[in-house]
Amino acid sequence: MQNDLFLKNVRPMGGPTADVFIRDGRIDRIGPDLAPAPSEVETIDGQNQLLIPGLVDGHMHLDKTFLGLPWVPHEAGPAILEKIETDKRVQRTMNLSVEDQVGKLIRLAISKGSTHIRSHVDIDPEIGLSRLEAVAAARETFTGAISIQLVAFPQSGVMRCPGTAALLEEALRAGADVIGGIDPAGIDQDAVGQLEAIFGIAERHGVGLDIHLHDPGELGAHQIGLIAERTRRHGLAGKVAISHAYCLGTMDDVQIGRAANLLAENGISIMTTGAAHSPVPPVQRLHDAGVQVFSGSDGVRDAWTPFGNADQLERAMLVAQRFNFRTDEGLRLAFHVATHGCAQALGLSDYGLDVGCAGDMVLLDGENVAEAVVTRPPRRLVVKGGRVVARDGTALV
């Protein structure tokens, strides 16, 4: 009974001591002083530690990481196009096994308590679907240990790389779950062209969209309007995310109010890493206006950034620091962004620590969620669907 587990003496979300019985991978019972599980079910004493739902990495690039290799000095210049070209050149030169590299990063994410990942995977006419196929193969290897959504990501653009739109559509048959996009104006110089192409594919296949939008200021704001209009027209409310959306970080009070309403009305989520190097969407303001805000690692040790460790408690801390969240309320909001915010943006309907939810959870040292965000203690136990997948900071898969 690999998917049955009895966790006794834990404190869900830092509240009073309780027990949790996971049966067939789902939370069957949770509460104080539960009757012991049948003797054949593994029982673990949580020793009154803090229990939180599995962490969710809402935005990764699994296919790009250099994790586990000798140090690779960072080369890329500041502009997005330079970074794209550097990434492609370095990947070509290094000629790594994508599947092996992906496996290293997935194992690291599991050890840090992630039970779900959304990963963008590069697709362009030069590499075709080769990287998507490698990531899909790695996902297969880790079935049951972590859930992974794949975004078919046109890193080099759609309209400026003829053939990409057809590849994106093909990617859905090869294992992608979501259609990506990138700076329709800044990269493609054809905002309407790219958006018509990707929204058309999403509607035909009944999938969601997650669009990288780095374009700043008015240019970015204009594209948020175009995305909202198409989300409404294609009936995709709740299935569209905009990643980064730096333009939301430089708006004045009136502009951000309007943009937040537009996003909330159309069910468009906003992903932020809480980046220190650029303007970022105002998390509290958006959250208060009813916009789903979620977080993720973005690159982990790749040609785009030498940083990253796949730890979503650390991500919550970086978001909190970026916005100067110091009160428990603020720290809880940062935690929400890295957990339930991600779950909603990714459409995970059975997420949380309630009866009937998936048995995905993390046990760790800490009095409450606020302290966990600040101290980021080692993950004592990571459980996925009732199965222990990491212990004391080490993945068991």
Q: Read off φ and ψ for residue 150, nearest 5 degrees.
A: -110, 130
Which C-beta is closer to Zn ion: that of 18 or that of 150? Answer: 150
Least Å from the CB of residue 298 to Zn ion = 5
* Token pair in block for residue 278: 């650029």
Contact of 15 with 23, CB cutoff 8 Å: no
Which C-beta is closer to Zn ion: that of 124 or that of 298? Answer: 298
Among the candidate windows 263-271, 291-299, 373-381, 385-393, which touches Zn ion by CB under 5 A? 291-299
Among the candidate windows 89-97, 163-171, 216-224, 293-301, which touches Zn ion by CB under 5 A? 293-301
Helices 217-233 and 191-205 sit at what angle, rounded to 10 degrees? 30
Q: Which residue is nearest to Zn ion (CB)?
A: 298
- What is the rounded CA–CA span in Å between residue 360 and residue 54? 5
Among 298, 302, 311, 360, binds Zn ion (CB under 5 A): 298
Which residue in 281, 284, 265 sits closest to 273, CA to CA? 281
188 touching Zn ion, by CB under 5 A = no
Which residue in 146, 142, 149 sits closest to 99, CA to CA? 142
Binding mask 245-284 for Zn ion (x = CB under 5 A): ----------------------------------------
- What is the rounded CA–CA span in Å between residue 44 and residue 42? 7
* Token pair in block for residue 337: 């962004």
Least Å from the CB of residue 304 to Zn ion = 8
Ranges of beta strands (E only) in the chain are 5-12, 18-23, 26-31, 43-53, 55-60, 114-122, 147-153, 178-182, 208-213, 240-244, 268-272, 293-295, 361-364, 379-384, 387-391, 394-395
Least Å from the CB of residue 247 to Zn ion = 16
Least Å from the CB of residue 243 to Zn ion = 6
Contact of 229 with 219, CB cutoff 8 Å: no
Least Å from the CB of residue 381 to Zn ion = 30
Least Å from the CB of residue 122 to Zn ion = 10
Which C-beta is closer to Zn ion: that of 12 or that of 180? Answer: 180
Among the candidate windows 85-93, 122-130, 270-278, 290-298, which touches Zn ion by CB under 5 A? 290-298
Among the candidate windows 15-23, 69-77, 296-304, 316-324, which touches Zn ion by CB under 5 A? 296-304
Least Å from the CB of residue 120 to Zn ion = 5
Least Å from the CB of residue 99 to Zn ion = 20
* Token pair in block for residue 228: 């909202």
Among the candidate windows 29-37, 47-55, 85-93, 297-305, which touches Zn ion by CB under 5 A? 297-305
* Token pair in block for residue 348: 């995970």
Which C-beta is closer to Zn ion: that of 57 or that of 360? Answer: 57
Least Å from the CB of residue 245 to Zn ion = 12
Which C-beta is closer to Zn ion: that of 122 or that of 298? Answer: 298
Which residue in 49, 54, 56 sits closest to 7, CA to CA? 49
Among the candidate windows 121-129, 298-306, 340-348, 370-378, which touches Zn ion by CB under 5 A? 298-306
Among the candidate windows 143-151, 279-287, 294-302, 358-366, which touches Zn ion by CB under 5 A? 294-302
- What is the rounded CA–CA span in Å between residue 18 and residue 3? 20
Least Å from the CB of residue 211 to Zn ion = 10
Beta bridge partners of 249: none
* Burial class of residue 33 in the structure, from the number of CB atoms within 10 Å of its CB (0-12 exposed, 13-18 middle, 19+ buried): exposed
Report the 10 Å Cβ neighbour count for 190. Answer: 16
* Token pair in block for residue 332: 């809880």
Which C-beta is closer to Zn ion: that of 215 or that of 298? Answer: 298
Residues in contact with Zn ion by the rule CB under 5 A: 298
